[in-house]
Structure 1
Amino acid sequence: MRLLGLDVPRESRLLVFVGFVDAIGTGLYIAGFAVFFTLSAGLSVAEVGLGLTVANACGLVALTPIGMVADRIGPRLASIVLHYWRAAGFVAFAFVHDFVAFLVVSCIVGIPTRAIEPVSQMYVDRHIGKDLRMRVLSVLRVVYNIGFSVGGLLTTLILVVGTRPAFLAIVLGNGATFFLAAILLARVPLLADDPPDGRTARGWPRSLRQGRYLIVTGLNAVLVLNITVLTLGIPLWIATRTEAPTAVVAPLMVLNMVLVVLLQVRFSRGTDTREGGTRALRWSALSFAGCMAVLALSGQLDPVGAVIAVVVATVLLTFGELWHFAGRLSVSYALAPRDRQGEYLSVFWLGSAAALMVGPALITVGVVEQGSFGWLALAAVFLGVGLLIGPAVSAAAAQLEEEHEVANNAT
């Protein structure tokens, strides 16, 4: 079947539709949460920022334990529970009028918001299997971007109305999409679901004792900084350090989204294996480094040259983003033992979540405020990741194979 011009396995049509529904609600919330909490719920900007920071911290702490629970109960039940959990949390936001209530509900929502990513990745693997999972995940990413855009447009209409009931549609609408997604997920078949006979052991996560695996997770976390570069670094750089007009920022974001929709499936081809995923991560790091170098140059150019430079930088960043998406998924699958897939994927996402938390401070203070030198320093960091990622993935895979052989010999 071809959906929205994308080659989607027939068995995955419902899952892709679930992703679209989910993304509409998320886009609705992302575009309107700041306005809702400040104008409708009566919170200050500082209170909103602090509450969301604490919520992210709660999500980080709970991420790996929930991944281990998913190993025990299976990805279907775990995904459905997390969707209902998020739905209830967003409905609760409608009754928030003070900081304490906001903090409590934010933490309740923050936990499943972080945990759903690795559990969903696990779900896709059990749904369609190794051969098709990268194609399905790539299609889902395209659909997510389209859904985000639809949600953002709906938020624009809500903000035009500007009444309390309209503002409530931001959180209640997001909650409704999670309820619907949970109901539909129960009907998505798990065609490749062959969990091991024994469930994962209790106690301290084994993945956190594997230094080589954690190195790969850390290197991937550095690459995750591209998200903050796009959403915060480039806009601030254009506004404060270049001759380019600030009006160019919005078209750059649109350019990024359009390229993702058009090219994600193509850039994911050949990444089904560990080697293919590693190669994609290497290309991603090189593309990010090129982007940083062009940004450093843009601060020295006239208005026309600066505009051309930031456009080129955005294209390079987007290419790196496309390779990074495919590469990190492929490598994280390859390094996750099937009987502990939820645990290992959660630890891999743990590094990404940590990078998103520290990214704003790092990119603003450590890069943008340092001028061109800051971008060149970040380019060097990305080049270093590109050089190290291959040996690091190979070393982590060797360590897993050694431990697997030891376990087999012991039994």
Structure 2
Amino acid sequence: MRLPGLDVPRESRLLVFIGLVDAIGTGLYIAGFAVFFTRSAGLSATEVGVGLTVGNACGLVALTPIGMLADRIGPRAASILLHLWRAAGFAAFAFVGDFVGFLVVSCVVGIPTRAIDPVSQMYVDRHIGEDLRVRVMSVMRVVYNIGFSVGGLLTTVILVVGTRPAFLVIVLGNAATFLLAGILLARVPLLADDPPDRRTARGWPRSLRQGRYLVVTGLNAVLVLNTTVLTLGIPLWIATRTDAPPAVVGPLMVLNTVLVVLLQVRLSRGTDTREGGVRALRRAALAFAGCVLVLALSGLVNSVGAVIAAVVATVLLTFGELWHFAGRLSVSYALAPRERQGEYLSVFWLGSAAALMVGPVLITVGVVDRGAFGWLGLAAVFVATGLAIGPAVAAAARQLAAEQPEAEVVRGAA
């Protein structure tokens, strides 16, 4: 049975299927990695946390250089390389038996795991073109959510079995999905692959020297905090500051997933231009502000009121999440020069990755621990971001248009 609204061009169906395969493996790993490393690999929870943090840091450092590599070798070669790299890395986790080995493999895995998002975004653009790229990415996000859920269910079965061979499926199964995805990517047609003249950047990445572009990435990073609000802020707030039963958290996460599956493509319509993307980001900022205002009020009412407030907040957050996804795609595409698309998209994702790293501290210490005033402060930040995003994007576009890239590049043969 086909979900309504998920029709994609025939040439994109294989790419969407690859996304499903990828997501099943990722869902399998996300749901089971903590148990695998502590019960099967014999690591402590602290060692797992430290290793994954170091691996993520390695991914951040390498993100922009790999984006520049994608500009150099083309999105197909870069995407296949990153998928095969991840396959080898996750397979190596099966042989980890101490902290040092885990740390090394975490760094190896962290680099392609971070780099794959902007390279995949570049791949979709070169696959389907400007008019349909946001729609195809939106369909793929729906499929990712379905795949994550399937992977999570498979992990439940593995945890019930509870044997060492079963635990190995968590990492080896993930490796197998990346291997299959990498092989299938070679068959997805592209409108364009390598840069036409094989130019290569000289010196420091140009994107990191454009202050107005970095302002846009910073504003987008503020909006990325919605992810931490959903996964950490709402559960902690419900459990510690409201009369709502903690058991309501699970259904709220399901509600979020269902709304993403049903509405992502629909709410992405009209966002295929820069102006449409800015409108979507404004709506997202307002929806996030509304969400956290409702959360602030939820601590002042009885249990029934708190549950209703939590549901309303989750719906507002999810609508904001849907607009934010489509809007940031459109804006990041619009502000990325064609010959440096991998570099610029990687820097844009760098801001998002940094927000996800600092988000847990900001939301717990800066918001939840401050009570209702913490949520009110975050609401003000979201509103200010929504007001600033339009002028910031326009200023970045003007700066990019004024640049003379010919003066900053040199032929690869030189």
- Which residues of 2 match residues 65-104 of structure 1 at below 5 A? 65-104=65-104
Given that 1:94 and 1:168 are in contact with CA atoms closer than 8 Å, whether structure 2 keeps it comes out as: yes
Aligned counterpart, 2:327: 327
Aligned counterpart, 1:41: 41
Give the Cα separation in 2 of the matches to 1:31 and 1:61. 26
Give the Cα separation in 2 of the matches to 1:366 and 1:135. 36
Secondary structure of the structure 2 residue equivalent to 1:336? coil
Letter of the 2:224 counterpart: V
- Which residues of 2 match residues 160-239 of structure 1 at below 5 A? 160-193=160-193, 195-239=195-239
Give the Cα separation in 1 of the matches to 2:274 and 2:2. 28
- Which residues of 2 match residues 262-281 of structure 1 at below 5 A? 262-281=262-281
Secondary structure of the structure 2 residue equivalent to 1:7? coil
- Which residues of 2 match residues 12-27 of structure 1 at below 5 A? 12-27=12-27
Give the Cα separation in 1 of the matches to 2:194 and 2:204. 25
Give the Cα separation in 2 of the matches to 1:202 and 1:57. 25
TM-score by length of 1: 0.97
Secondary structure of the structure 2 residue equivalent to 1:364? helix
Give the Cα separation in 1 of the matches to 2:51 and 2:390. 38
Residues 80-135 of structure 1: CA distance to partner in whole angstroms, max 9, x if unpaired? Answer: 00000000000000011111000000000000000000000000000000011011
Letter of the 1:317 counterpart: L
Report sequence identity in percent: 84
Aligned counterpart, 1:374: 374
Given that 1:129 and 1:192 are in contact with CA atoms closer than 8 Å, whether structure 2 keeps it comes out as: no
- Which residues of 2 match residues 303-342 of structure 1 at below 5 A? 303-342=303-342
Give the Cα separation in 1 of the matches to 2:336 and 2:128. 17
Give the Cα separation in 1 of the matches to 2:199 and 2:164. 48
Secondary structure of the structure 1 residue equivalent to 2:108? helix
Aligned counterpart, 2:285: 285
> What stretches of structure 2 of length at least 5 have no aligned partner?
409-414
Give the Cα separation in 2 of the matches to 1:154 and 1:8. 27
Give the Cα separation in 1 of the matches to 2:330 and 2:197. 25
Residues 339-371 of structure 1: CA distance to partner in whole angstroms, max 9, x if unpaired? Answer: 000000000000000000000111111111111
TM-score by length of 2: 0.97
Given that 1:229 and 1:363 are in contact with CA atoms closer than 8 Å, whether structure 2 keeps it comes out as: yes
Residues 354-405 of structure 1: CA distance to partner in whole angstroms, max 9, x if unpaired? Answer: 0000001111111111111111100000000000000000000000011149
Secondary structure of the structure 2 residue equivalent to 1:249? helix
Given that 1:126 and 1:194 are in contact with CA atoms closer than 8 Å, whether structure 2 keeps it comes out as: no
Given that 2:75 and 2:194 are in contact with CA atoms closer than 8 Å, whether structure 1 keeps it comes out as: no
The number of aligned residues is: 407
Aligned counterpart, 2:384: 384
- Which residues of 2 match residues 92-131 of structure 1 at below 5 A? 92-131=92-131
Given that 1:83 and 1:181 are in contact with CA atoms closer than 8 Å, whether structure 2 keeps it comes out as: yes
Given that 2:24 and 2:148 are in contact with CA atoms closer than 8 Å, whether structure 1 keeps it comes out as: yes
Secondary structure of the structure 2 residue equivalent to 1:393? helix
Give the Cα separation in 2 of the matches to 1:88 and 1:149. 24
Give the Cα separation in 1 of the matches to 2:202 and 2:38. 43
Aligned counterpart, 1:261: 261
Residues 121-166 of structure 1: CA distance to partner in whole angstroms, max 9, x if unpaired? Answer: 0000000000110110000000000000000000000000001100
- Cα offset, 1:312, TM superposition: 0.1
Give the Cα separation in 2 of the matches to 1:389 and 1:377. 18
Distance change in 2, residues 1:45/1:405 (3 Å): closer
Q: Does 1:10 align with 2:10?
A: yes
- Cα offset, 1:193, TM superposition: 4.1
Residues 268-291 of structure 1: CA distance to partner in whole angstroms, max 9, x if unpaired? Answer: 000000000001001000000000
- Cα offset, 1:406, TM superposition: 8.5
Letter of the 1:332 counterpart: S
Letter of the 1:49 counterpart: G
Letter of the 1:330 counterpart: S
Secondary structure of the structure 2 residue equivalent to 1:138? helix
- Cα offset, 1:199, TM superposition: 1.8
Give the Cα separation in 2 of the matches to 1:379 and 1:52. 31
Q: CA RMSD in A?
A: 1.3
Give the Cα separation in 2 of the matches to 1:29 and 1:231. 17
Give the Cα separation in 1 of the matches to 2:356 and 2:273. 27
Residues 271-324 of structure 1: CA distance to partner in whole angstroms, max 9, x if unpaired? Answer: 000000001001000000000100000011100000000000000000000000
Give the Cα separation in 2 of the matches to 1:198 and 1:51. 37
Give the Cα separation in 1 of the matches to 2:128 and 2:194. 11
Give the Cα separation in 2 of the matches to 1:75 and 1:95. 31
Aligned counterpart, 1:136: 136
Q: Does 1:252 align with 2:252?
A: yes
Give the Cα separation in 2 of the matches to 1:381 and 1:55. 30
> What stretches of structure 1 of length at least 5 have no aligned partner?
none
Given that 2:207 and 2:344 are in contact with CA atoms closer than 8 Å, whether structure 1 keeps it comes out as: yes
Given that 2:75 and 2:193 are in contact with CA atoms closer than 8 Å, whether structure 1 keeps it comes out as: no
